[in-house]
């Protein structure tokens, strides 16, 4: 299925996705959109792992299992982060990162 497509194309695609996520992480001020940028970054890393696994080490499965575990970590991270965000919203009635600036109350 991947004949005629060099490995570099996958890597460049993942690079663009990664730095789109970095840009969103730096400019967004809403906590949920920051979480979405983190998901973009994790997803681009998964593409890299799988492309390396398929092109350079097709007789092993390391990349596949690593991205499987990355997906599991991303899912649990999203669940905990959204629980925290909803709790913050309940207490401050906003999820703008610049208005949520006290940790002790």
Alpha carbon separation from 34 to 15, 30, 98 (Å, rounded) = 18, 6, 13
Q: Should residue 57 be labelled a site residue for another protein when binding is judged by CB under 8 A?
A: yes
Q: Which residues have a Cβ under 8 Å from the Cβ of 11 and sit 6 or more positions away?
A: 48, 51
Q: Should residue 51 be labelled a site residue for another protein when binding is judged by CB under 8 A?
A: yes
Q: Which of 45, 78, 100, 101 binds another protein (CB under 8 A)?
A: 78
Q: Interface with another protein by CB under 8 A: which residues?
A: 1-5, 7-13, 15-24, 26-30, 32-33, 35-37, 39-40, 43, 46-47, 50-51, 54-61, 64-65, 67-69, 71-80, 82-87, 89, 95
């Amino acid at each position: 299925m991947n004949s005629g497509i060099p490995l570099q194309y996958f890597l460049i695609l993942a690079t663009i996705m990664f730095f789109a996520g970095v840009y969103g992480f730096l400019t967004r001020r809403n906590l949920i959109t920051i979480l979405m940028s983190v998901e973009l970054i994790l997803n681009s890393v998964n593409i890299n792992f799988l492309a390396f696994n398929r092109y350079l080490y097709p007789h092993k499965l390391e990349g596949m299992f690593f991205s499987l575990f990355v997906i599991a970590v991303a899912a649990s991270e999203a669940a905990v982060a959204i629980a925290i965000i909803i709790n913050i919203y309940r207490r401050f009635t906003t999820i703008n990162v610049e208005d949520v600036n006290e940790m002790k109350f």
